Structure 1
Amino acid sequence: MIRFVPGQEKKQFTVLRKSSKRNTRGKVIYGYDPQKPVSSFLGSLSQASQKEIEQWNQNGHPITHTVVVYRCCDARSEDIVVVENRKFYVQGKRNPAELGFFDVLFCNESMANGLIGGDDNVNDENNTGSALETAQTNG
């Protein structure tokens, strides 16, 4: 029997995948549509250990948290997983035993904060582009 520390029990996560769309000027805009989730899974969220943080920083992909998924999930790098009101950008995925029983997602919470519902939202009705693109166009 697995004993959980309070706050690490199984929670329902939703996976959002990056999609693209062209704006009126033909530029491709990438974003995450919260209305079209790819899948969901049960997992346990925890802070990454100092060793894991250093290993991922050396590869140029900083992480803050890990999510242990019971059974396999559809999440992959560059996806966003959402639980309750928190969002996590997936930097990598590992199958520890290579048997398909568990997956470990290595995530960064701070990277996902501006990607959903912000200026880069793909389902923008006006399709005008991001604030960065507008600033670059205006000089």
Structure 2
Amino acid sequence: MSQFIIATHSYLADGYKHSINFFNTEVKNIHYINAYTKEKNNFVEQLEKLLNEFEDEQVIILTDLPGGSVNKESANLIKQYNCNVISGINLSLVLELVLSSDEVLTDEKIRAAVEQARSQIVFMNDWLKGDDL
């Protein structure tokens, strides 16, 4: 089974947790890290602890900002832990991935989910006028 780590600045990861639980309260393979909060947690230590815990499973790390420190630190661990990192996440993408019935997600499935999420970012003013079809 794939393990998902949602790692974000501040408490955004908690927001994803509550949103995912709104749609499915039975999900057990999602882990959350709220980085750089008042609790002075060591983000890299927390992330490595989870990665070591799931060393024999597929791990997909979902981060908030492609240029942010959470993503940079996560990306630095890709080769060492053989994990996947996706950055710039939105709820559509997260739900597509974590609610997938596939035990292991192929690179192709991950890429397709990223493309699908990109297509769901819409400037509604243009869309309602028919300019963004």
**TM-score normalized with structure 1 length:** 0.25
Higher strand share: 1
**Higher Cα radius of gyration:** 1
**TM-score normalized with structure 2 length:** 0.25
